[in-house]
Amino acid sequence: MSNQFKAEVFQNQYLHEGAKEVHAIMTVSVEKGDGVPVSTGNDRLFGIICDVSGSMGGGKIHAAKDAMVKVVSLLPEDAYFFIVTGSSKASVVFPVSKATPEKKEEAIAAIKRILANGGTLMSKWLTEALAQFNKKPDAVRQALLLTDGMNDDTDEQALQKILQQCEGVFQCDCRGVGTDWRVAQLQQIAGKLLGTTDIIPDAAMIEADFQAILAKAMSKNVSDVTMRLWTPQGAKVLFCKQVSPDIVDLTQRGKAVKPQMLEYPTGAWGRDESRDYHFCIEVNAGNVGDEMLAGRASLVYTVNGVETKVAEARILATWTDDEAKSTKINKRVAHYTGQAELAQSIQEGLEARAKGDIEVATAKLGKAVKLAHESGNEATAKLLKTVVDVEDAPTGTVRLKRDVAKEDAMALETRSTKTTRIPKS
């Protein structure tokens, strides 16, 4: 049975007289069953971009090479792949090839010859990767970037330029090994390229992480899916965010395709995948009894010039003088609003901690503990306990720990945007 896209909207459509803001959560899932089937026949192209600067020498480069060898060996024979290494320059260790047994052997031999030397200019790495991805324009294109260090400050302008060119061409998951890299730098790349960022504290863990990223990439079977949001005349989209499985603010990525219609990139989708999106739309205020369609959201992809709409959901607004109706907050809207607050509290708390502002750091991280407890986000609650001693989770009463391992603080920062689904009642 083919995969199907489904969409559901969760909201409280009732507004009090004069209210303008409409909130809605749209859940989109790909599953087997009834719905709109997806079958694009796309090839899959997986690119590895590996840091080989001098700091990667020793155990890290050996672990990275072992991980690359394992990933190449696991590639399905109908997939395509390439390998780029980067330092102060970039090299194509192995160009785009189909993952036949013969090509895998050649690639593994090339990986074993890799040496670590030089500085870190990530713009050059992405430039070479883009050239490889452009060889397969119709493929589902996914990259994995591994580094252990900070990008050179002189490369910032060039990096911004190449990211603009890479956007929409391929997605990229970024991983930092050790603790000498900057979370914000990798989040900038992954955010622009609709990927994830995470820390690999120990080089021995690289292989397992690479395998998980490969498995996820190989599950993708439809690329370049966009979220199309129509709103009525006079309305304004205040924000559009992916809120699960992690928070990705798409607001500034919206492109006008028609009057009152914006498109937001969502990247590639795979089997058994589910994501949640939070829309906030400002409409013209209505009178009691007025009803309107405040928005219509749909997922769209194009294959061989043919556009296909795979899911659609309607966002409604009804004005009422019934206070019980208008003041009721939808559970999912409330949950994801809290998850966004949680991520913001963590980021602001860690920033204050880094500046030595103990009072603000304690307040922000205490609020994060409280929000994590209320929403059932156990993974984040566990990470928070590495930087604070929790005296009372329900009230958010905490004390900052005096000694915190750098990898623990970085793990909390990188994973602060990961959300939990609303607990089932």
Residue 397: which CATH number? 1.20.120.1690
Query: Do 232 and 115 sit in the same domain of this protein?
Result: no
Tell me which residues of the chain have a pLDDT lower than 70. Answer: 1-3, 32-41, 423-425
Residue 91: which CATH number? 3.40.50.410
Residue 422, in any domain of the structure: no
Query: Do 92 and 211 sit in the same domain of this protein?
Result: yes
Choosing from 189, 221, 253, the residue where a domain stops is 221
Query: Do 174 and 289 sit in the same domain of this protein?
Result: no
DSSP, res 252:
G
Note down the domain range covering 252: 3-40+223-321
Average pLDDT, the chain: 94
Query: Do 255 and 402 sit in the same domain of this protein?
Result: no
Choosing from 295, 321, 347, the residue where a domain stops is 321
Query: Do 83 and 195 sit in the same domain of this protein?
Result: yes
Contact in structure between 190 and 197 (CB atoms under 8 Å): yes
Query: Do 298 and 367 sit in the same domain of this protein?
Result: no
Q: Which pLDDT score is estimated for 224?
A: 85
Query: Do 188 and 247 sit in the same domain of this protein?
Result: no
Q: Which pLDDT score is estimated for 156?
A: 96
Residue 425, in any domain of the structure: no
**Alpha-helical runs (H) found in 134-229:** 156-166, 183-192, 206-219
Measured distance CA(184)–CA(206) in Å, rounded: 20
Phi-psi region of 244 (alpha: psi -120 to 50; beta: other; left: phi over 0): beta
H or E element, residue 321: none
Contact in structure between 349 and 384 (CB atoms under 8 Å): no
Q: Which pLDDT score is estimated for 391?
A: 97
Residue 269: which CATH number? 2.60.40.3670
Q: Say how many domains are in the chain.
A: 3
Query: Do 269 and 407 sit in the same domain of this protein?
Result: no
H or E element, residue 41: none
Of 185, 133, 181, 131, residue with least CA distance to 155: 185
Residue 424, in any domain of the structure: no
What single-letter amino acid sits at 148?
Answer: D
Query: Do 60 and 109 sit in the same domain of this protein?
Result: yes
Choosing from 288, 321, 354, the residue where a domain stops is 321
Residue 421, in any domain of the structure: no
What long-range pairs does 88-96 form, CB within 8 A, spacing at least 24?
88/53, 88/118, 88/119, 88/120, 88/121, 88/124, 89/118, 89/121, 89/124, 90/124, 90/125, 90/127, 90/128, 90/129, 91/128, 92/128, 92/132, 95/132, 96/45, 96/132, 96/135, 96/136
Q: DSSP secondary structure string, 334-345? A: HHHHHHHHHHHH
Q: How far is CA 420 from CA 27, 81, 220, 246, 250, in A?
A: 14, 33, 22, 8, 19
Q: Report the predicted TM-score, pTM, of the whole model to 2 decimal places.
A: 0.93
Query: Do 55 and 194 sit in the same domain of this protein?
Result: yes
Query: Do 186 and 63 sit in the same domain of this protein?
Result: yes
* Strands across the sheet containing 21-32: 36-38, 3-10, 21-32, 273-282, 236-244, 248-249
Contact in structure between 299 and 226 (CB atoms under 8 Å): yes
Q: DSSP secondary structure string, 60-122? A: HHHHHHHHHHHHHHHS-TT-EEEEEEESSSEEEEEEEEE--HHHHHHHHHHHHT----S---H
Query: Do 111 and 54 sit in the same domain of this protein?
Result: yes
